Amino acid sequence: MKIINAKITNYPIKLTTPFKYALATLDFLPYVMITIETDTGIIGHGESAIGWDTTGEMPAGSIQIFNEIALPYLQNRTIDSVESVQAVMNDLNKFIYENTGLKSGVEFALLDVLTQSQNIPVWHLFATHTNHDTITPQIVFSLTASTDPVTIVDKIKNAQQAGVKYFKFKADKNIEQLATILNLVGQALPTAQFILDANQSWEDAEASLSNLARLENLNIAWIEQPVHHDNYGALAAIRQSTKFKIMADESCHNLRDLENLYARQAIDMINIKLAKCGGLMPALAMAKFCETNNIQYVLGSMFNSNLGTASDLHFAALTNCVSYDITPPSMITEDIFAGISFQDYRVAIPTAAGLGVSLKK
């Protein structure tokens, strides 16, 4: 099976409501999509979740790199095995530095056509069965000046009854508001487990430890990325001085970062995002390292359409994540892909051929 056509297109994804975190407020996601067509008539797609703050990419640059550098390594390539997909990705990694969001979309488009040709789901290339038939994602809260604690309590109570275990709160420098809301929620729902994601906003180890001291009595499962992504020393210092587990997100893009963080004893956990590391196969390598070295890991999300969510779910099927950050369909307007099954708070692992999603008619 040979590739006869490969293209990249703008793929903006609009959110139903703006989402605020420490670095920005988003109302749409400036992504791109990779489409690959083979001589057998099979067409595959991959979502490239690019972000200036996470992967350092923007659509115009991704489109130029794809058309001028990546495309020649895709044209007329034979895709008939995992090894053939890896060979293409090895070429791209050799000639294109980083641009991991773009590469993730390319890899998944390749895996999509390969597994469609074999009439199996993507996860079946790497295992005979899934670790899970369904997963229950965490719920994420973005706080604003008008956030109502009562509404949060009601939502968490309903979610707990449906089996949701973790509740993530975006935690910027407004610790007063965060502490007030979490104390109210904790008093009403003492078994609720909180994740605090600072998205690098807590400056340094001293400020982070001061913030954590004010949250000492809360039921916090872990603290995610309190300091700047390249401040490994601060991560290590915080970890050594607090009872809370410390997770790296922006600090941990790939296996090299993971090995470095582990060597520095800077982490208890990491957040694996497919767009950060360059696709499914690099993500599986990171998960293997974690399991070998007793590091917990979660599946992170950049916000995705059903196309990108499907990619995440194939990783989830093959691994043992502590938690899952999956984009609920209610957050995306006018999704052009169908095929993901959400029921209450649970999401089914795809079983159809390929990624398991298709363009809506």
- 182 with 111, same domain: the answer is no
User: Does 179 or 53 have the greater pLDDT score?
Assistant: 179
> What pLDDT score was predicted for residue 168?
97
> What pLDDT score was predicted for residue 302?
86
- 212 with 284, same domain: the answer is yes
- 97 with 151, same domain: the answer is no
Q: Is the pLDDT of residue 23 over 80?
A: no
The model's pLDDT over 92-104, given as tens digits with 9 standing for 90+, comes to 999 999 999 999 9
Instruction: Tell me which residue range forms the domain holding 248.
Output: 127-359
Per-residue tokens: 205 = 């180890």
CATH number at residue 23: 3.30.390.10
Q: Is the pLDDT of residue 310 over 90?
A: yes
- 159 with 33, same domain: the answer is no
DSSP symbols for 160-173: HHTT--EEEEE--S
In the chain, the amino acid numbered 352 is A
Q: Looking at 103, 123, 143, which one is the last position of a domain? A: 123
- 97 with 233, same domain: the answer is no
- 94 with 158, same domain: the answer is no
The model's pLDDT over 210-223, given as tens digits with 9 standing for 90+, comes to 999 999 999 999 99
Q: Looking at 123, 148, 176, which one is the last position of a domain? A: 123
- 154 with 27, same domain: the answer is no
Q: What's the total number of domains in the chain?
A: 2
Q: Looking at 57, 92, 123, which one is the last position of a domain? A: 123
- 187 with 288, same domain: the answer is yes
Q: Is the pLDDT of residue 166 over 90?
A: yes
What is the chain's mean pLDDT, rounded? Answer: 95
- 119 with 135, same domain: the answer is no
pTM summary value: 0.96
* Nearest CA-CA partner of 122 in 65, 182, 46, 56: 46
- 173 with 300, same domain: the answer is yes
At a CB cut-off of 8 Å and minimum separation 6, what does 40 contact? 1, 117
CATH number at residue 260: 3.20.20.120
What CA–CA distance (Å, rounded) separates 258 from 349?
A: 27
> What pLDDT score was predicted for residue 359?
96
Q: Is the pLDDT of residue 269 over 80?
A: yes
Mean pLDDT value across residues 135-147: 88
How sure is the predictor about 146, in pLDDT bands with cuts at 50, 70 and 90?
Answer: confident
In the chain, the percentage of residues whose pLDDT exceeds 90 is: 88
- 48 with 81, same domain: the answer is yes
- 55 with 144, same domain: the answer is no
